[in-house]
Amino acid sequence: MNWRRALQRSLEDPATALETSLALARGRYYLIKFRLLGRRVRAGRFFRVRGPLDIRGPGTVIFGDHCSVVSSRLSPTTPYTHKADAVIRFGNRVALSGTRLGCERSIEVGDDAGLADARIMDTDFHSIEISDEPRENTRGRCKPIVIGPKVWVGAGAMILKGVTIGESAVVSAGAVVASAVPPRSVVLGNPARVIWRIGDVHYPLGAAAAKTDGAQPPASCP
């Protein structure tokens, strides 16, 4: 870190510097709190928290360097593990905003990813098979989730078990992702489907997509 540049920025914008300092202090507070509670939580350098962070379960939660959490009381960030060998691992510079995670095996998030108030679960929690047991007493299937670097997951999206999301992909708000997402693509809907490739000139679905959505394909994609 360039301390001279950081000092200069602090002098130029003291309000932002104070906010960042408070977020760093809050990040340290949460790490100490969770360790005292016996939670298996680790974080790299410059871990920042604004708002509620709730980590529960017997597994391990790991934050890389320069990770940030921004939450509210109505939308807290909740990385929960449900088995002792479960691992939730965030890479460097990952930003979470009210993200809720449920993990029995493994959830991996790559560097520079941004996760809004989405739901990410590597298990069904309850079996879909018919049995004599109440549904709450059954166990679902579990498969690891991998979210690649620079992925953006929008608000209200759901990432289900076994999903791999490729680098720089975008999961639109409200999408339900149950299968692999190619790199540099945008997915939308329930179930989520690719609506365009980032950098392409036209929607790959062409006129069919326009008729389905009731809109014309744009001349270029964002």
CA 199 – CA 10 distance, rounded (Å):
37
> In Å, what is the CA distance from 21 to each residue of 9, 46, 68, 104?
13, 10, 13, 34
Query: Which residues have C-beta within 8 Å of that of residue 83, sequence separation ≥ 6?
Result: 57, 58, 59, 104, 105
Distance set, CA 79 to CA 35, 101, 196, 211, 217 (Å): 15, 5, 31, 40, 38
Q: Is 202 a catalytic residue?
A: no
* Dist CA 56 CA 80 (whole Å): 5
Query: Contact at 8 Å (CB) between 77 and 61?
Result: no
- Of 66, 82, 126, 202, catalytic: 126
Enter the tokens of residue 48.
Answer: 């920042």
Residue 190 gets the label, from left (phi > 0), alpha (psi -120 to 50) or beta, of: beta
Quick one: DSSP state of residue 21? Answer: H
Q: How far apart are CA 120 and CA 97, in angstroms?
A: 13
Active site residues: 126
